[in-house]
Amino acid sequence: MERSKGKINSGKEGILLVDKPIGITSHDVVDIARKRLSIRKIGHAGTLDPLAEGLLVLLVGSYTKKFTKFADFDKGYSGILKLGEVTHTGDSEGEILERNEYRDISDQEIKEAVESFQGATEQIPPMVSALRKKGQRLYKLARKGVVIERKPRKISIYNCSLENIKRPYVYFHVYCSKGTYIRRLAEDIGEKLGCGAHVTKIVREKVGPFNLNSSIKPESIDETHLQKVTF
């Protein structure tokens, strides 16, 4: 990959690496960029839902044509899951459906459960996702309490590792293919341990060759941060 010299671009095109905060949608960030750059032709290359934060890649101008390339990149995340509670959304914003005991589960069992998800596998997308069913986003249906059948999808988890345990919270890292849902992974880990779990924090740290530490806050978006890249 090569980058053009300097950050300042004569035309309003390129990519923006943005650090999306919790509480707003990916489309909200796109709207902010459109206003700050005074250009409509902006999209993002991979949704982060309101609970999630971290690296959001915006495509500006002619770079919107490169969507498929950027969307296909592998991604890296850090996350925190809470043991012993199952929610209807798979995250801390959902209604608690179950409470189960987790204190007798050893640290080694937790480590083995987290690491067991490495490799090629299939994953059922969570209801709280941006997938569409008959024109409606699944997460909108989920917030209404509607649950529909979803087919499993093939994914690859290249690395799934334990960082720390501070019961009932488990801190972990994931490096995975596109289409991997971290909230679903947290639920699957909880199910494997027999106590249930939900995700309380998701941070996207890496998209292909791009890293969160090179990103800017939405309020800092301007033309000087546009980057032109070739692959």
Residues marked active site are found at: 49
The runs of H, that is alpha helices, within 53-123 are 67-71, 107-115
Which DSSP category does 15 fall into? E
Tokens of 198: 């939900």
Distance (Å, whole) CA 34 – CA 31: 5
Distance (Å, whole) CA 152 – CA 123: 5
DSSP characters over 165-229 = EETTEEEEEEEE-TT--HHHHHHHHHHHHTS-EEEEEEEEEEETTEEGGG-B-GGG--GGG-B-E
Strands 153-166 and 169-176: antiparallel
Which DSSP category does 91 fall into? B
Distance (Å, whole) CA 100 – CA 91: 16
Contacts of 150 (CB under 8 A, 6+ apart): 124, 125, 127, 131, 138
Q: State the Cα angle at 160 between 157 and 163, rounded to 5°.
A: 160
